[in-house]
Structure 1
Amino acid sequence: MDMEAAIQGGKHNMLNKFKICISMKTLMVLFNCILLTIGQVGGPLLVRIYFLHGGKRKWLTAWLLTAGFPLLILPISISYFKNRSNASSPKFLVPPRLVAASAFLGFLLGIDSYLYTFGMSYLPVSVSSLLGSSQLAFTAIFAYFVVKHKFTHYSINAVVLMTFGSAILGLHMNGDRPSGESHANYTLGFFMTLGAAALHGFIMPAFEYAQKKAEVTVTFDLFLQVQFLVSMFATLFCTIPMIINKDFQAIPQEAAEFELGPMKYYMILVMAGIALQCMMIGSTGVIFSSSSLFGGIVTSLLVPVQQIFAVFCLTESFSGEKGMALAMCLWGFASYFYGEYKVNQKQPDSKPEPEHEEV
């Protein structure tokens, strides 16, 4: 009887630990999804407002995408002092291999930031967000090669639909060109934004691959430290061309000439920096707490929200071509999500047996 009670008690403790682990993971995913939503909706709007009212510094806006990384010092410091008394708890969790990967990914993120903000300077938010939705297709393709994620006919369908959605926007790009914008600049912005989506589609699986190769347990502390390193290296990369172009010296003059006034100029820059950093933290957090493909799904799901805010806040038009592209985006998202649901539904059938064997 005592042996039976001990076994039952062991099972009960294991079940409780499993439930706590699942709930913590779910909370972390939800928290990062909220940050991603705030950043992805608010960041592009603020950047577009900057360009619409006289802002011209593309490297400055690229720099803002990750320059808010010092905000992470506070939670990292709190965690450090909290665990300082525990001798078994490491003070710096990022292994050298992951530090090197963070430097490389930070360099890529710096390039991606410039491509993204360059496109934002010439394209309406509604167009750039729809082009950005093609990131899910690129993420799925790169995830197949980088982290060996298997394709299904649902994910292939999603890739095809989102590719056609981008093609529709490309074929009708003249109809939504802002007044005063040249065809060459609009076309360049279009392909730069598409390039940014492709590069970001590679960066997301690369994050997941780096974490797996480092062979470390993903914790909230580790996630914060990796995010800090990646954003720091990306900011350093963008700082070099800013110094060369004398962007820092030009900020006071640009603020004085800004159509909405100097105070609103600085407010927009600060708020954009915070919002974009939320987007970066949320994006990386979703990858670390779930997967790169789930991060691509959430990003694509936020496209309709971006569309609504762009139409109401910036009075952008919503043409038939955009509606068709958005429909294809949502159709592709639904197809991919349903495919993932079907795959995950089959997995529990094969998991219970090993658990019974271990007990």
Structure 2
Amino acid sequence: MKPPVFVASVVLGLLTGIDDFLYAYGVARLPISTSALIISTQLAFTAAFAFLLVKPKFTPFTINSIFLLTLGAVVLALHTSSDRPANESKIRYFMGFFMTLGASALYGFVLPAIELTYKKAKQTVTYSLVMEMQMVMSFSATVFCSIGMIFHGDFKAIPREASEYELGQSTYYVVLVLNAVFWQMFFMGAVGVIFSASSLLSGIIIAALLPVTESLAVLFYHEKFQVEKGLALVLSLWGSLNYFYGEFQENKKMKKQNQALETEIT
């Protein structure tokens, strides 16, 4: 890894650390299904920043998909008062809402910035280099978050939280470790998609997982599922399916063009 790529990875890691803080703070004050729908706006931010930084190809299907996914989040935002937990103050709830939205916007910037780093790197970008960059980014984000936890005294709270955990102290630490492992798998997958395709596709895949999160939140946490959440979910599903259908049509069109070109040559 050359110095410019290393410096870029450190900066991206620090931005990821800030994003982690915003995400953790916001999710702690919102129902899971609500936070998941807000995070779906990440696609709109990813598309906007990708347009500014890496200039991807936008098809009508892509634009329609981004519009539908963003509209779903707007519908949810207009009906937040009915979703506020009973023990949560209005101010803290809206702080959680806007910090989650901020996390979505920031990660929407990070994904195209990673793609831009790949494009501007003055060396051959292999998946090994991608893994090195991710290691530096994760380390930088961990240092950022750890410093904040030290000053806030969060490490002292971990044993107390473990002792109060309903499923048992050992299970608490298992959950922490598994969280770390699964988040690393997520990040490696996200940067891998950017390396293989684009930041926009990475954002689409993240948004496409929304129905899974919604379903699990209602199933395991028995969260309320109001009409506006249902409408937002339908819009999100429609937007995701619209994108993948557009990609399927584009690939089909490209295949026909390649076949026609091969026929002309022969």
Q: Does 1:123 pair with 2:30? A: yes
**Other structure's SS at 1:151 match:** coil
Q: 2:65: which partner in 1?
A: 158
Q: Does 1:193 pair with 2:100? A: yes
Q: Does 1:98 pair with 2:12? A: no
Letter in 1 for 2:154: D
* TM-score normalised to structure 1 length: 0.68
Equivalent-residue separation in structure 1 for 2:223 and 2:137 (angstroms) = 34
**Equivalent pair of 1:143/1:205 in contact (CA under 8 Å):** yes
Equivalent-residue separation in structure 1 for 2:144 and 2:51 (angstroms) = 29
Q: 1:239: which partner in 2?
A: 146
**Other structure's SS at 2:28 match:** helix
Q: 1:229: which partner in 2?
A: 136
Could you report, residue by residue, the CA deviation over 1:162-208 in whole angstroms, capped at 9, with x for unpaired residues? 22211111111122222311222121111111111111111111111
Q: 1:248: which partner in 2?
A: 155
Letter in 1 for 2:100: T
Q: 1:258: which partner in 2?
A: 165
Unaligned 5+ residue runs, structure 1? Answer: 1-93
Q: 2:196: which partner in 1?
A: 289
**Equivalent pair of 1:161/1:331 in contact (CA under 8 Å):** yes
Equivalent-residue separation in structure 1 for 2:229 and 2:183 (angstroms) = 25
Q: 1:20: which partner in 2?
A: none
**Equivalent pair of 1:154/1:339 in contact (CA under 8 Å):** yes
Q: 1:86: which partner in 2?
A: none
How far does residue 289 in structure 1 lie from its aligned partner after superposition?
2.1
Q: 1:142: which partner in 2?
A: 49
**Equivalent pair of 1:218/1:289 in contact (CA under 8 Å):** no
Q: 1:12: which partner in 2?
A: none
**Equivalent pair of 1:140/1:155 in contact (CA under 8 Å):** no
Q: 2:75: which partner in 1?
A: 168
Could you report, residue by residue, the CA deviation over 1:108-139 in whole angstroms, capped at 9, with x for unpaired residues? 10011111111110111111111111111111
Q: 2:120: which partner in 1?
A: 213
**Equivalent pair of 2:69/2:235 in contact (CA under 8 Å):** yes
How far does residue 264 in structure 1 lie from its aligned partner after superposition?
2.5
**Equivalent pair of 1:227/1:281 in contact (CA under 8 Å):** yes
How far does residue 346 in structure 1 lie from its aligned partner after superposition?
4.2
Larger radius of gyration: 1
**Equivalent pair of 1:107/1:234 in contact (CA under 8 Å):** yes
**Other structure's SS at 1:122 match:** coil
How far does residue 352 in structure 1 lie from its aligned partner after superposition?
8.7
How far does residue 329 in structure 1 lie from its aligned partner after superposition?
0.8
Letter in 2 for 1:332: G
Q: 1:91: which partner in 2?
A: none
Could you report, residue by residue, the CA deviation over 1:234-262 in whole angstroms, capped at 9, with x for unpaired residues? 11111111111122233223323334432
CA shift in 2, pair 1:345/1:98, >3 Å: farther
Equivalent-residue separation in structure 2 for 1:313 and 1:123 (angstroms) = 16
Equivalent-residue separation in structure 1 for 2:259 and 2:90 (angstroms) = 56
Equivalent-residue separation in structure 1 for 2:133 and 2:10 (angstroms) = 10
Name which of structure 1's ranges 215-224 and 231-240 shifts more when overlaid on structure 2.
215-224
Could you report, residue by residue, the CA deviation over 1:197-233 in whole angstroms, capped at 9, with x for unpaired residues? 1111111111111011004433332222111111011
How far does residue 334 in structure 1 lie from its aligned partner after superposition?
2.4
Equivalent-residue separation in structure 2 for 1:307 and 1:135 (angstroms) = 16
Q: Does 1:321 pair with 2:212? A: no
How far does residue 151 in structure 1 lie from its aligned partner after superposition?
2.8
**Other structure's SS at 1:172 match:** coil
Equivalent-residue separation in structure 2 for 1:115 and 1:345 (angstroms) = 41
Equivalent-residue separation in structure 1 for 2:261 and 2:14 (angstroms) = 45
Letter in 2 for 1:178: P
Equivalent-residue separation in structure 1 for 2:246 and 2:6 (angstroms) = 34
Equivalent-residue separation in structure 2 for 1:344 and 1:186 (angstroms) = 44
Q: 1:304: which partner in 2?
A: 211
**Equivalent pair of 2:27/2:100 in contact (CA under 8 Å):** yes
How far does residue 278 in structure 1 lie from its aligned partner after superposition?
1.6
Unaligned 5+ residue runs, structure 2? Answer: none
Letter in 1 for 2:198: S
Letter in 2 for 1:160: F
Equivalent-residue separation in structure 2 for 1:275 and 1:124 (angstroms) = 21
Q: Does 1:276 pair with 2:179? A: no
